[in-house]
Structure 1
Amino acid sequence: MKQIHAYLMGATMITASAIFSVGCSKSTDSDEDLIGNWKRADDFEGNARGEAVSFTIGDYAYVSTGSTITERFKDLWEYNLNRRYWTQMAELPGNARNSAVAFAIGTKGYVGTGYDGVSRLNDFWEYDQVANAWSRKADFAGTARYDAVAFSVGGKGYIACGYDGNYLKDVWEFTPGASAGDAGSWIQKASVGGSKRRAAQAFVVNGVAYICSGNNNGELLTDLWSFNPTANEWTEKNKIYNYTDDTFDDDYSGIARYNGTTVVMGNYVYLTTGYSSSLTSTTWRYDPANDRWLQKTGFEGAAREGAVSFTLNNRGFVLTGISGSDVKDNAYEFLPDAEQVDND
């Protein structure tokens, strides 16, 4: 039986106006000296769920698929940046699923892989925002899997790692078709360095993709890798725990996790939620320019894993997720440079 710790990847966000100003109480006493504040945002209007996917096209964010403990979904919801509401769009034609992956290239969104409750999947679908319609593209060329990660860089999409009955570290590049009837193509690229993994976190900052942490046979991984698609090579960055004699990593604790989520704002990425030895709400900022991490105020909603996130108008949002049998539909905006509001 599949364990329902979700392992996704997503990146997205709600609108600048999608928030209302209900501050959250401090998540832990240790957060008192940290910078950053979380605010409640407009609730996701689909069914509560974890292990969904998200992507953004222009000023719109999209959330699709996901699951409760007993039900899986294939609906698609669009968040309107200007009007502050969610609209249900055309549903994914494939099987309902959780632990899939998604990314966007230009004006198209892509969703693929995952688990439908019986089988691991390798189908791959393109969403046309203008037509509000899906079309099936070339099946993912790697093995059918779930708990993979995905990202897009330079007009191409990438799916990596995951679980197909074994842990994986392979990487596959997708090139969209030149015309509507063209299914696109896949080619295998250099595998991620280090261990095989599932439920890692992937993000892109200033055109550079990264894969961070994850789970390997119950072991929490503590590495971070960047990808150069032109050179087709991965470079290991500093470990995400205190492993050197230098001082920069003295306070590194609790960065590593799986099934967390990330939001990119400006030149930084913010890693939050997920699972380490237990559910975690700690939030860390990564600065690729100097390969350093800084702890920020912890996520102030209920602890969860399998959340999705997105960024619109340089504002980062985290929503949905699962904690045991409790699935979430609420959303939070993170203000990374704001003082924390204490409502106790």
Structure 2
Amino acid sequence: MDTLTRHLRQLLRSACILIALLSFSSCDSSEEEEEIWGNWIRQSEFSGVARSGAVSFTIGDKAYVGTGYDGRNRLQDFWQYDPTKSAWIRKAEFPGAARSAAVSFAANGKGYVGTGFDGVNYLRDFWEYDPATDTWTQIADFPGTARYGALALTIQDKGYIGAGYDGNYLKDFWQYDPASGQWTEKVGLGGAKRLNGFAFAQNGKGYVGGGRNNSLYETDLLEYDPVADSWKRLKSLTSDERDGETYPLSRASAITLEINNRAYLVTGTNGSLLSEVWEYDALSDLWTRKNDFDGGAREGAVGFVIDNRGYISTGNYSTYRFDDLWLFDPAASAD
């Protein structure tokens, strides 16, 4: 065998060994990748027309979805979702003016819907839904200014409404007590004014963030203590305050899901539509990235929670509106 042939064979063997080592290293690396949690499963589609800017609330083991905008008309229809039957059932129509961008909350076994935009006017009327009789009753008007794009949450069977837009961006905050039927003004948001912010409750306190103030997407995160009627500013959604941490982009028109003392921030827009999902633990003030929403980027969706599982439906991507429904199990690994 000549010298050239021996060198060629040695080079070939070296190349084969290198390829084998690279293949082993590649397999080893993929096995060490961190598992992504949060599984999305498509469910029975929403039975109403596709829409955005609807409202939703949960009472017991059933959810209710209604109102909104289908691209041509504001809507008044209302639907109940029963996950045990994967069934949508049409319920009594919302009796107020057809509207979008209203707010809703559930408290003391009943649902509440109010404010919003009817295509011409900002609104401030409020309505109570009784699931036992499938009836709506008008309650005292929201005492703040007529508005749309406000935020709402429930803390200990009381509803809280705030912020939004009435021709100006707002930061006021109000409590509704179903037991007395009374509205009470509370201390206004400790941060910026905002339209289409996000809100949720954890461990007896309320949390508000995001939203848009003129052309600015707000990055602050605020904690509300209903006992002290006071606001605390937490670390904002910026690298200056969360150096070394993961955190979501600020956004408007997102939804939140409250599951097992964790909040999940899903979808929305920061000028570009988002499909990201983030888990927030209020005790540690930390965010963790979860599996992206499989239904695709959108804004103006609705979300609700039944039996510690989240659901997302409706919303829009530009002029396209959705009628799909997705179940989110944060404790399951992504498919």
TM-score (norm 2): 0.87
Following the alignment from structure 1 to structure 2, what is the Cα–Cα distance between the partners of residues 245 and 304? 26
Amino acid at match of 1:242: S
The alpha carbon displacement at 1:269 in A equals 0.8
The alpha carbon displacement at 1:61 in A equals 0.3
What's the C-alpha RMSD, in Å, of the aligned pairs? Answer: 1.5
Please give the secondary structure, in 1, of the residue aligned with 2:296.
coil
- After superposition, what is the alpha-carbon deviation per residue over 1:219-260, rounded to whole angstroms, capped at 9, x for unaligned? 01111111111110011111122113742x2x33x4310000
**Aligned pairs for 1:306-317 within 5 A:** 306-317=300-311
Give 5+ residue unaligned stretches, structure 1.
1-30, 179-183
Match of 1:175 in 2: 177
Following the alignment from structure 1 to structure 2, what is the Cα–Cα distance between the partners of residues 32 and 44? 34
**Aligned pairs for 1:23-102 within 5 A:** 34-102=36-104
Match of 2:266 among 254, 264, 272: 272
Following the alignment from structure 1 to structure 2, what is the Cα–Cα distance between the partners of residues 266 and 121? 34
1:245–1:93 Cα change, 3 Å? closer
Following the alignment from structure 1 to structure 2, what is the Cα–Cα distance between the partners of residues 79 and 207? 27
Q: Is 1:189 matched up with 2:191?
A: no
Question: Which sits farther off after the overlay, 216-225 or 331-340?
Answer: 331-340
The alpha carbon displacement at 1:132 in A equals 0.5
Give 5+ residue unaligned stretches, structure 2.
1-32
Following the alignment from structure 2 to structure 1, what is the Cα–Cα distance between the partners of residues 242 and 297? 33
Following the alignment from structure 2 to structure 1, what is the Cα–Cα distance between the partners of residues 123 and 277? 32
Match of 1:16 in 2: none
Following the alignment from structure 1 to structure 2, what is the Cα–Cα distance between the partners of residues 93 and 129? 15
Please give the secondary structure, in 1, of the residue aligned with 2:331.
coil
Match of 2:198 among 176, 196, 201: 201
Question: Which sits farther off after the overlay, 128-137 or 331-340?
Answer: 331-340
The alpha carbon displacement at 1:33 in A equals 5.8
Q: Could you tell me whether the CA contact under 8 Å between 1:101 and 1:150 is conserved in 2?
A: yes
Following the alignment from structure 2 to structure 1, what is the Cα–Cα distance between the partners of residues 92 and 147? 24
- After superposition, what is the alpha-carbon deviation per residue over 1:90-140, rounded to whole angstroms, capped at 9, x for unaligned? 011110000000001121100000000000000000001111000100000
Q: Is 1:323 matched up with 2:317?
A: yes
1:32–1:77 Cα change, 3 Å? farther
Q: Could you tell me whether the CA contact under 8 Å between 1:68 and 1:325 is conserved in 2?
A: no
Match of 1:218 among 212, 215, 218: 215
Match of 1:155 in 2: 157
Please give the secondary structure, in 1, of the residue aligned with 2:117.
coil
Match of 1:10 in 2: none
- After superposition, what is the alpha-carbon deviation per residue over 1:188-233, rounded to whole angstroms, capped at 9, x for unaligned? 1000111100100111123221111110001011111111111100
Match of 2:106 among 104, 107, 126: 104
Q: Which of structure 1's runs of 4+ aligned residues deviate more than 3 A?
A: 31-34
Q: Could you tell me whether the CA contact under 8 Å between 2:43 and 2:86 is conserved in 1?
A: no
The alpha carbon displacement at 1:340 in A equals 2.1
1:81–1:235 Cα change, 3 Å? same
Identity, in percent, stands at 45
Q: 1 or 2 for the larger relative contact order (CA 8 Å, sep ≥6)?
A: 1
Q: Could you tell me whether the CA contact under 8 Å between 1:124 and 1:139 is conserved in 2?
A: yes
Match of 2:275 in 1: 281
Amino acid at match of 1:82: T
Match of 2:139 in 1: 137
Please give the secondary structure, in 2, of the residue aligned with 1:299.
coil
- After superposition, what is the alpha-carbon deviation per residue over 1:146-173, rounded to whole angstroms, capped at 9, x for unaligned? 0001112122211100000000000011
Match of 2:119 in 1: 117
Amino acid at match of 2:231: W
Q: Could you tell me whether the CA contact under 8 Å between 2:108 and 2:178 is conserved in 1?
A: no
1:71–1:125 Cα change, 3 Å? same
Match of 2:229 among 225, 228, 232: 232
Match of 1:303 in 2: 297
Amino acid at match of 2:220: D
Amino acid at match of 1:95: A
1:32–1:99 Cα change, 3 Å? farther
Following the alignment from structure 1 to structure 2, what is the Cα–Cα distance between the partners of residues 320 and 51? 8
Please give the secondary structure, in 2, of the residue aligned with 1:258.
coil
Question: Which sits farther off after the overlay, 38-47 or 126-135?
Answer: 38-47
Following the alignment from structure 2 to structure 1, what is the Cα–Cα distance between the partners of residues 196 and 74? 18
Please give the secondary structure, in 1, of the residue aligned with 2:333.
coil
Following the alignment from structure 1 to structure 2, what is the Cα–Cα distance between the partners of residues 136 and 153? 22
The alpha carbon displacement at 1:32 in A equals 8.8
Following the alignment from structure 2 to structure 1, what is the Cα–Cα distance between the partners of residues 206 and 313? 23
